Amino acid sequence: MNPIELSFEFFPPKTQEGIDKLRATRAELVMLKPKFVSVTFGAGGSTQQGTLAAVVDIAKEGIEAAPHLSCIGSSKDDLRAILTEYRAHGIRHIVALRGDLPSGMGAVGELRYASELVSFIRAEFGDWFWIEVAGYPEYHPQARSPRHDLENFARKVKAGANSAITQYFFNADAYFRFVDDARKLGVDVPIVPGIMPITNFSQLMRFSEMCGAEVPRWIARRLESFGDDRESIRAFGLDVVTDLCRRLVDAKVPGLHFYTLNAAASTKAICERLGA
């Protein structure tokens, strides 16, 4: 039994090369005995079938696999069909999201928010699925206000979620405060911190800009100063993210969820340094 409950997130590969790479990544990371792994889902996009294929592939290896499912841009019939297929494959764990519409795609769909998706899943599938939802310690970029975002988070948990995974962050205090505030609103499910290993400066800044996660100035400046020196970026990133995880583990968080980007090395190195 792993002393730290781990989960790893992958995205569905689009090419045979990507499929082979993900299998190799998985083979390395399953040695850390994760509680489950999850596979992302693209709203309205071509990765939807890829999510199912990846999840089925993983489940065949005896690993608990949780597909992500976003409701934006989909009809209830579409969502019901996908969930029915997961159930037929014996999948019992799902990450329920609103998602984001790819630019240029019009219709919002029948369910507007993740809370509505959670209610839909509970109404149609009862307790078949263990449902995870997303939390935002630094608030969702479209939120009207921090308070409103927290209330919306509490709403989707109360709609029937079993657990939550957060957006990544580099400031542990944002996470601790978020958990305290959520508890005050009656949220009593585990809130597992999402962890982003640092391996690439420009990619990190781009992702963070999109999802509203803050990269503290001292981290951004140091990473920038390394230029193309990937080894220094990796070594510094490893130190920073391991320190963050250590602080979280010391505070007895319910687990760590790694955004692996389908690469094993950094996630594995961090977990090993933590003694996982």
Query: Under the rule (CB under 6 A), what is the footprint of ligand FAD?
Result: 40-43, 68, 70, 95, 97-100, 113-115, 134, 140, 142-143, 148-149, 152, 156, 165, 167, 194
Shortest Å distance, C-beta 50 to ligand FAD: 11
Min. distance of Cβ 99 from ligand FAD in angstroms? 4
Closer to ligand FAD at the Cβ: 42 or 197?
Answer: 42
Residue appearing with tokens 């519409």: 101
Q: Which is nearer to ligand FAD, 195 or 223 (CB)?
A: 195
CA distance 47 to 62: 23
Query: Which own/partner contact pairs does 16-21 have at CB distance under 8 Å and 24+ positions apart?
Result: 18/262, 19/57, 21/262
Name the residue nearer to ligand FAD (CB basis): 114 or 240.
Answer: 114
Q: Which is nearer to ligand FAD, 96 or 219 (CB)?
A: 96
Catalytic choice (5, 9, 116, 138): 9
What are the angstrom distances between the C-alpha of 52 and each of 63, 132, 179, 254?
14, 17, 32, 27
> Taking the complex as a whole, how short is the minimal distance between the CB of residue 203 and ligand FAD, in angstroms?
16
Q: How far is the CB of 202 from ligand FAD (least distance, A)?
A: 20
* Residue 151: active-site member: no
Q: What is the dihedral of CA 65, 116, 98, 22, to 10 degrees?
A: 10
Q: Which residues are catalytic?
A: 9
